[in-house]
Structure 1
Amino acid sequence: MKKHIKDILRLLIVVILVLIFIFITNVRVVGYLKGSINTLYNNIEKKRILANIKDYDILETKHFIIRFDKEDKEVAYLTGEIAEKYYNVVCKMFDYYNKEKNIIIIYDDGNELLKNTRLNKQTYPVGVYYGGMINILSPKLWIKDTENFNMVYEKDGPIVHEFTHLIVDKITHGNYPMWLTEGIALYAEYKLTGFEWGKDIQYLDKVDIKSLDKNFYQLDQYIAYRKSFEVIKKISDIWGFEKLKDILITLGEGNNLKSSTKAVLKINLYELK
């Protein structure tokens, strides 16, 4: 009897070791796990942030739920107008329409934005996609051109950029490198609003795609963001944006970026100049 139990335990140990080996060596399993963890994390953080802003007012449009401090009522309505204006064109660009309303939070306090999105920065970003939601710094805090306030907010503001992050996250189930989503968000802004970020930034040749993929946060962020945009634009110019969408879909199936690019574009991504 004891020998039988020992045999069963040995078999279980072998099975567990085999499963661990398959898990470690199977790229798609790792990708699926990454996506599952991302979804769980987003849900947890979403609940935390919404609890922190429970006293914010609510404005609902056809596709968005906008949370805002009562001082930002006019900004909330303007945000809703801009978001709805670009909703269909962004969704059509990616052939993806979210089944639920998208949440936008407007902060009139930069420190609260940093705290809720867990950012450790000295400056306030105008927009952050975090917790599955779009977090925006009130444009009243960063737009100085009051005469052209609405136009500046639409063209230079973060709505299209952050909404693109949301869509990329949904399509890939969170299985993407940061440089890819940043490059795509900058490209969407460029194509849909005409705003081209960082076009005067130099020394892009000092950063290659492998560095973007492996060390994005260690790079000079201005160069890294611009290089990301250049890579995405080049892929779209050469192969077409449809292929970029195919890469996102392949990532969503649990594959990593190198294998996704190899499958869709038939190239080694790191060799792309």
Structure 2
Amino acid sequence: MPQMEKRNISINKYLGITLAAVLILAAFFMKLPYFVKNSSYIIYREGFRQKALWTTRSMHTLSGDHFKLRFSQGNVKDAELVLATAEKFYAPIAEKYGYTGKGKIPIIVYSSRAELNRNFGWEANESAMGVYWAGVIRILSPHIWIDEDDPNLYREEFVHSGPMAHEFTHLVVDYITSGNYTRWFTEGIAQYEEYKLTGFEFDKLQASLDQPLYRLAEMNAYFDDLPNQPLAYRQSYLAVRYIAEVYGEDTLKVILQNLAQGNKTETVLEKVLGVNMKDFEENYINWAKEKE
């Protein structure tokens, strides 16, 4: 083989290797912003989780297979009920979405609304029964809102109307995606699992679909500030239920896996469902109105 030809082959090989290296580095640096954001969020979440465990260290503790529960003195029966219900819902949700978190999940049970609301700077009349935030599930003690003397009916009401399935699903979505999700999607999937496991559906009169509806873009940007919160929650639920019933429940897991790669919700939905967002909105709303 002539020397010049050998030299050209060597140069071409060198250029090929160099180009491949450049492309690999470019791909790495393109992903770097998400890597930094992802890592920062995980550190923040773990810090908040450890802080919650530290600040509640003087409370009584119950431990199950997957949860560590903190509660006030004299509230043992409610604490046992909350822990048993959390464990009941763990496997169906974790296995369905591929959650394999390590360590026991903190649950803090509060004996009054004021005590729960104070942790989030909420008004005293805020009526939340449970909240998930940054690795910790916070629950209002069942006796605050359940008016039932029969122990079996008391337990049944908490299991079927309480917030455990909902809040644990929020945690699963958060951990799988490292915080990369829109508010409407996590609210929708949490309500969907609540519906599947307990039969509970959000059906307030204000959430009727016979009124101007929110666009998904509005719910992406302003979810908590939307004036009709029941409608925003119901639309979120119906959008997710539409995906599950029309495309199959496994599609929800695929969406979470794609979100875990740092992709935007809109991009993921278009990719996984094979339809643009405009058509998706129109389709789920038409489907929901037929259901209603």
Match of 2:199 among 194, 197, 201: 194
Contact map agreement 1:66 1:76 (CA 8 A) in 2: yes
Give the Cα–Cα distance (whole angstroms) in 2 for the partners of residues 271 and 244 of structure 1.
18
Q: Residue 272 of structure 2 aligns with which residue?
A: 264
Give the Cα–Cα distance (whole angstroms) in 1 for the partners of residues 248 and 212 of structure 2.
23
- Rate the CA distance shift 1:228–1:29 in 2: closer, same or farther, 3 A: farther
RMSD, aligned CA: 2.2
The offset of 1:121, in angstroms, is 6.3
Alignment of 1:76-225 (within 5 A): 76-119=79-122, 122-147=125-150, 148-198=153-203, 200=205, 201-203=207-209, 205-219=212-226, 220-225=228-233
Contact map agreement 1:208 1:270 (CA 8 A) in 2: no
Give the Cα–Cα distance (whole angstroms) in 2 for the partners of residues 103 and 164 of structure 1.
14
Contact map agreement 2:173 2:186 (CA 8 A) in 1: yes
The offset of 1:146, in angstroms, is 3.0
The offset of 1:118, in angstroms, is 4.5
Contact map agreement 1:127 1:134 (CA 8 A) in 2: yes
Q: Residue 248 of structure 2 aligns with which residue?
A: 240
Q: Residue 69 of structure 1 aligns with which residue?
A: 72
Q: Residue 60 of structure 1 aligns with which residue?
A: 63
TM-score by length of 2: 0.79
The offset of 1:257, in angstroms, is 0.6
Matched residues, percent identical?
Answer: 34
User: Deviations along 1:33-87, whole A, 9 cap, x unmatched?
Assistant: 4433332222232233223322111111111111111121111111121111221
- Rate the CA distance shift 1:256–1:32 in 2: closer, same or farther, 3 A: farther
SS of equivalent to 1:91 = helix
SS of equivalent to 2:44 = helix
The aligned amino acid for 2:94 is C
The aligned amino acid for 2:131 is V
Aligned residues: 250
Match of 1:229 among 230, 234, 237: 237
- Structure 1, 193-202 or 72-81: larger mean CA deviation: 193-202
The aligned amino acid for 1:202 is S
The offset of 1:120, in angstroms, is 5.2
- Rate the CA distance shift 1:113–1:271 in 2: closer, same or farther, 3 A: same
The aligned amino acid for 1:64 is F
SS of equivalent to 1:65 = strand
The offset of 1:112, in angstroms, is 2.4
Q: Larger Cα Rg: Structure 1 or Structure 2?
A: 2
Give the Cα–Cα distance (whole angstroms) in 2 for the partners of residues 183 and 151 of structure 1.
24
Contact map agreement 1:46 1:133 (CA 8 A) in 2: yes
Give the Cα–Cα distance (whole angstroms) in 2 for the partners of residues 114 and 266 of structure 1.
42
Give the Cα–Cα distance (whole angstroms) in 2 for the partners of residues 212 and 102 of structure 1.
29
The offset of 1:254, in angstroms, is 0.8
Gaps of at least 5 residues in structure 1 are 1-21
SS of equivalent to 1:71 = coil
- Rate the CA distance shift 1:121–1:70 in 2: closer, same or farther, 3 A: closer
The offset of 1:185, in angstroms, is 0.3
- Rate the CA distance shift 1:35–1:115 in 2: closer, same or farther, 3 A: farther
- Rate the CA distance shift 1:74–1:265 in 2: closer, same or farther, 3 A: same
The offset of 1:205, in angstroms, is 4.6
TM-score by length of 1: 0.84
Give the Cα–Cα distance (whole angstroms) in 2 for the partners of residues 48 and 237 of structure 1.
40
